[in-house]
Structure 1
Amino acid sequence: MRLSSMADYAVVTMTAAARHCGRHGAGGARVSAQQLADETGLPVPTVQKLVSKLAAAGLLKSVRGLGGGLKLARPAAAISLADIVEAVEGPIAMAPCSVHGRHDCTLEADCTVRPHWPEVDAALRGALAGVTLTQLTRPVPAGVVAGASA
């Protein structure tokens, strides 16, 4: 399984916001979409689109007026990787048939795997829910290679 580019960019954007706003979310400094774009290297329109989705999902809050900007809607420790991915992609589902109401699979009538997808989806969501935004903002220790396993 691979994240879509937009889900990946949402994670990058949220980690940048967490670094700017502090890990505690409420209170803390504010950051603009332009600052997030500058820090992440993403185009401003992409960041604005992501900010809109992340705010609609209750992960970011927009503050107007003097000293306004964006801030985390709740502490970074209370925002999971699953929350971020679902804000952009919708419910986590490995197979199209595990999304409630979808009936577009030609194998659906005789499929013996379909009843098991919700359990797989829950396991995947649980794994992503176990990774917090706080964890994603921590520096990687020297000598640790990205993608390497122990």
Structure 2
Amino acid sequence: MFRLNRLTDYAVVVMSQMSLRGENLRSAQQIADDTAVPLPTVSKLLNLLGRAGLVTSQRGATGGYTLSRSPEQISVAQIIQALEGPIALTACVDGAAESCDVQSLCPMRGNWNKVNTAIQDALTSVSLAEMSAFPATFGLSQTTAPKTVQADRKS
């Protein structure tokens, strides 16, 4: 089964929460409170996402974190790559961190690139803004969504 690790999943949750708050600076503690992700994990994620250029930090009493670009300009692929490195399904695809011992003999050599490219293209085509959008709940329209959700969307 192809599965993202928990830290990468949390990174999408944290960044989605940040996107809902617009350009407002948020402390690691506020983000942890809003997402229910433990503070040490949020701090680690913000550090990794900052190194990847996806979030920016401001020090000081009024400091905090914000997205470095608009949510429409950040792809799910960029978030995954910030936490896990290049997207590579097997050891023989372009960009894989490790090499395959039987690569020269393998009949699949090069064919995995097609699959890997399709997955990478799909992840690149989904923006953080799309991941942050609330799905319709039980067929209710956006105007009939719970008031707390409507308030969060506006702030």
Q: TM (normalized to structure 1)?
A: 0.84
Counterpart pick for 1:50 among 23, 45, 49:
45
Q: 1:26-65 alignment to 2 at 5 Å?
A: 28-65=23-60
Structure 1 vs Structure 2: percent identity of aligned residues? 39
Q: 1:85 aligns to what?
A: 80
CA RMSD of aligned residues (A): 1.6
Q: 1:2 aligns to what?
A: 3
Q: Which runs of 5+ in 2 are unaligned?
A: 140-155
Q: Which consecutive aligned stretches of 4+ in structure 1 deviate over 6 angstroms post-superposition?
A: none
Matched, 1:67 2:62: yes
Q: Which runs of 5+ in 1 are unaligned?
A: 23-27, 145-150
Give the C-alpha shift of residue 2 in structure 1.
1.2
Tell me, what secondary structure is at the counterpart of 1:119? helix
1:115-135 per-position Cα deviation (integer Å, ceiling 9, x unaligned)? 122222211111011111111
1:17-64 per-position Cα deviation (integer Å, ceiling 9, x unaligned)? 1112x1xxxxx2101111111111111111111111101111000012
Give the C-alpha shift of residue 139 in structure 1.
1.1
Tell me, what secondary structure is at the counterpart of 1:131? coil
Q: TM (normalized to structure 2)?
A: 0.81
Q: 1:7 to 1:41 in 2, by over 3 A?
A: same
Q: 2:14 aligns to what?
A: 13
Q: 2:119 aligns to what?
A: 124
Maintained 8 Å contact 2:8/2:80: yes
Q: Point out the structure with max Rg over C-alpha.
A: 2
Q: 1:113 to 1:83 in 2, by over 3 A?
A: same
CA–CA separation in structure 1 for the residues paired with 2:43 and 2:97: 31
Give the C-alpha shift of residue 140 in structure 1.
0.8
Q: 2:98 aligns to what?
A: 102
1:96-130 per-position Cα deviation (integer Å, ceiling 9, x unaligned)? 22244632x34323111121222222111110111
Maintained 8 Å contact 2:91/2:97: no
Q: 1:148 aligns to what?
A: none
